[in-house]
Amino acid sequence: MSQEPKSPPCSSTSRVSTLRNNAGYRYLTLLAVQLLERVRPRHGNVLMLTSNLCVKYGRRVHLSEASTMQFISQRTSIPVPKVLCAFTHAEQTYIVMERIKGEILGSGWVDRREQSKSRLLAQLSRIIVEMRQLQPPDSMGVASVDGGSLYDCRVPGPGPTLRFGPFSTIKDFHRHLRRGMEFDSRLDAEIRDLITQHESGTWPLVFTHGDLSSLNILVSGDDIVGIVDWETAGWYPSYWEYTSAYQVNPQNSFWANEIDKFLEPMPDELAMERIRQKHFGDI
């Protein structure tokens, strides 16, 4: 991981911790993006400013992602990017952070030795255990780290930001996933079973990354050096990490064979989610 550059003190903008956003940092960030966005490498909405710094920005980027990375770095040993500056300007949010030097886990995974795979999956399992040890505030429901709205491009949300919630209870969250549908004896049998499972389940609220694909895990050799892309993170029912991990994209199809090796298998919940996807859209 790269050395930490010095940064000036800035004002508080988060209920979780202090996010740096003073005028000087904002100006330098906006200037750097304007000058470099056409010449520097870019991965999605992340622009590589230098070999040590990058900025994630856009209308769907949210300050809660910066708060999440600070929350995780302050309360766990999980390696996450160090946030240097975060602010919103002209309806776009900018998060300046250190670049973690590593390769995407999915790159060359199928060619790795089994011993190497086992070592990495064991580390990932320990990361999950450490994240599960985090405790939500007493009044917290299904919400982002600071109690606000959530984001997942596979979950419906109002408006162009696609953000949804927060929800006071897990049952309220489930009702949103069903687009408000309540139990009715005239419904399809699968939907009746789904609603019954939603209403009768007793899952604890746990902190969840929400997109633990091999594309969001950075490694160096046989060591995990970073977990990135925390935009979908928040407090969710305990099955959400597992069922979300199974929503693999074509670049990540092999990953489905590894999920049960670092997350507790939850076959009933996975079946429940697949029924919901069938009737209420992909997630």
Low-confidence spans in the chain with pLDDT less than 70:
1-18, 20, 282-283
How confident is the model at residue 239, as a pLDDT?
Answer: 97
Give yes or no for a contact between 221 and 229, defined as CB atoms under 8 angstroms apart.
no
Separation CA 231–CA 63 (nearest Å) = 9
Same domain? 77 vs 133: no
Q: Is residue 124 one of the residues assigned to a domain?
A: yes
Same domain? 136 vs 161: yes
Q: Is residue 16 one of the residues assigned to a domain?
A: no
Of 76, 98, 120, at which residue does a domain stop? Answer: 98
Q: Is residue 15 one of the residues assigned to a domain?
A: no
Distances (CA, A) of 121 to 18, 125, 219: 33, 6, 11
CATH number of the CATH domain containing 30: 3.30.200.20
The amino acid that residue 247 corresponds to is Q
Q: Is residue 276 one of the residues assigned to a domain?
A: yes
Same domain? 122 vs 69: no
Same domain? 125 vs 90: no
Domain count, the chain: 2
Phi, psi of 195 (to 5 degrees): -65, -40
Separation CA 51–CA 198 (nearest Å) = 47
Same domain? 225 vs 256: yes
Structural domain containing residue 236: 103-280
Q: Is residue 7 one of the residues assigned to a domain?
A: no
CATH number of the CATH domain containing 149: 3.90.1200
- Tally the C-alpha atoms within 13 A of residue 88's C-alpha that lie toward its C-beta: 12
Quick one: tokens of 234? 């928040």
Separation CA 87–CA 22 (nearest Å) = 9
Helix, strand or coil for residue 43?
strand
Residue 113 φ/ψ region, left for φ over 0, alpha for ψ in the -120 to 50 degree band, beta for the rest: beta
| Per-position b or e across 100-118, b if 16+ CB within 10 A of its CB | bebebbbeebeeeeeeebe
Same domain? 251 vs 180: yes
Same domain? 175 vs 260: yes
With CA atoms as reference, report the closest residue to 114 among 275, 271, 260, 258. Answer: 258
How confident is the model at residue 282, as a pLDDT?
Answer: 58
Same domain? 137 vs 74: no
Q: Is residue 8 one of the residues assigned to a domain?
A: no
Separation CA 107–CA 219 (nearest Å) = 10
Which helix H or strand E contains 126, and what residues bound it? helix 114-132
How confident is the model at residue 23, as a pLDDT?
Answer: 87
One DSSP character per residue, 201-269 reads --PPEEEE-S---GGGEEEETTEEEEE---TT-EEEETTHHHHHHT---GGGGGGGGTGGGTS---HHH
Same domain? 204 vs 239: yes
Same domain? 172 vs 268: yes
For 43-81, the pLDDT digits (tens) are 999 999 999 999 999 999 999 999 999 999 999 999 999
Give yes or no for a contact between 58 and 48, defined as CB atoms under 8 angstroms apart.
no
Same domain? 173 vs 267: yes
Q: Is residue 263 one of the residues assigned to a domain?
A: yes
Of 74, 98, 122, at which residue does a domain stop? Answer: 98
How confident is the model at residue 160, as a pLDDT?
Answer: 74
Q: What angle do CA 242, 245, 249 make, to 5 degrees?
A: 160
Alpha-carbon Rg for the chain in angstroms: 20
Separation CA 211–CA 78 (nearest Å) = 15
For 135-172, the pLDDT digits (tens) are 999 999 999 999 999 999 888 777 777 899 999 999 99
Same domain? 80 vs 162: no
Of 69, 98, 127, at which residue does a domain stop? Answer: 98
